[in-house]
Structure 1
Amino acid sequence: MTCPPGSTIGAYLCQAGQVLRAAAIDQPRYEARLLLAHALGTTQDALLRNPRAEVPAEAAARFGQSLKARLDHTPVAHILGRQGFWTLDLAVSPATLIPRPDSESLVEAALEAFPDPKRPIRVLDLGTGTGALLLAVLAERPAAFGIGLDRAPEAAALAARNARENGLADRSAFLAGDWAAALDSAFDLVLSNPPYIERDAIAGLMPDVARHEPALALDGGADGLDAYRAITAALPALLAPGGVAVLELGQGQRAAVEGLARGAGLEPAGCRADLGGIERALLLAKGGLAKKPFVGPAPAH
């Protein structure tokens, strides 16, 4: 950044937008507003209401550091330390995958499978990360209790923090463990967004992902299906009679994962597409659930 001392909000936004655009960053003006609002400790709306306001030197220095990190493809969520998901505001860190809007299709599928908000369901989130999936369901189902499990202790600790900050700590618990090895309980609903990227494909992902998000949350083995093999093998013991699992899929993985589920004695019960039309949320049942297909995104909540 070459803005002189005393430059205005408008000047910083203009120059930062140009720099980000030149670096082929998507939505450069939007990201410039996000980063400058963060540096100033204010909102994007406040920036736009007062573009002639001077940017103090301390905020300008913070903005310059944030911009430098973004040009190195550090995800915006890591720079801000926060990410919105469903109705929640979540802390994020390099120890966890950043929650994405596509994963909200799993929440929609889970809520449709358990439509009664007064029903006291038991929920398990395998590979909980930030706790996004579990906490979103708990926020909509006030009689539910859930456990989030993650192989990374740092992730389990972050999810517990997010539960506290969103007022859900009294109905949740978070543990570090290898998939379901630490559990000896049955659940009505099991959620999971497992690692599903083929190992050799990780290096070719967008730099924001390949260089800055944890390999533990991305690497699905040689064919992308290692985690699904472990999860589908464990689900018959984890699901209560009539229980439901909702698993996030990578593009084109539905048939393979349904095959693994059938081999474990589970019943595929439909798949909900994300907002891009990709089959994303696979629903599996352990007996007693009518096969009601999930074929597209639900109306905005």
Structure 2
Amino acid sequence: MDVRHLRYFVAVAEERHFGRAAQRLHMAQPPLSQAIRQLEADLGVTLLHRTTRRVDLTEAGAAYLTRAQEILASLDGAAQEARLVAAGALGRLAISCVGSATYSLLPALSRQLATELPGVDFAFHGEMLVPDQIEALRSGAVDVALLRPPVADLSLTVTALRQDRLVVALSGDHPLAAKRRVRAVDLRDTDLIVHSAGRRSVMYDVVLRLLHDAGVEPRIRHEVGETSTLITLVAGGLGAAVVPEPVTALALAGVVYRPLVRPATTVGLAVAHRAHRAEPHLTRTVAVIEEVSRSSPTR
């Protein structure tokens, strides 16, 4: 059965007139009448009662009209959905973020994605360490990750977004809180709270390398997996923490942040996805992430 025959029949059935239906379909009336007769012959039933003034549906025709309208609506919907998918305006994506991006970037990012890609269903996973994000990308649990390089996995496409300065998080009554800036050497004999070494945190390596280069033997008292927990322990006076500046967006009573100088070190922020992934909605999402990252302040 030709889909055109369905459209012809629906037009005649809705107009109850061959002439008006022909005008609606932008075609001549004789081929329209011939197509309806062919449809009835194919089905083996009479769909229409024809008179000189009007056309009425038979009982079979009324039943067929309902199904024909549903089929055409489904076909039109499928075509529209295919166009939206091809344009990157429809789909599902899971996005993960390291702790600092969770607080500083995710609010603006989720808002922008909802505006620009309202047809894409997004799921967000915050407070993920880089090794966990890489594993989630490999398994397909996550489609796009905002993470801290370096990333050595060649199966991933990693695009640099920006460099974030490092700051020192301190409790308000910590001796170093009185300083306007904190040097790496000032952290000698200071209890430190760091991201977990056991879970291979990128920030753990960054902080230890920074302190060793400054000749400071780190005095680590607590290792945690989540940035929010790290800052909570700082507020409790259990130690200081070296964190990316965007963490300052996590404003917690009793915590102050001081710029880290000598050296003034930065850490990168990047967006990653599986190298073979090139779906339009994923590509558009990465473009939005790049745009929001450029336009958002580090905090």
TM-score of the aligned structures, taking structure 2 as reference length: 0.25
Structure number with the higher helix fraction is 2
Structure number with the higher strand fraction is 2
**Which one has a bigger Cα radius of gyration?**
2
TM-score of the aligned structures, taking structure 1 as reference length: 0.25
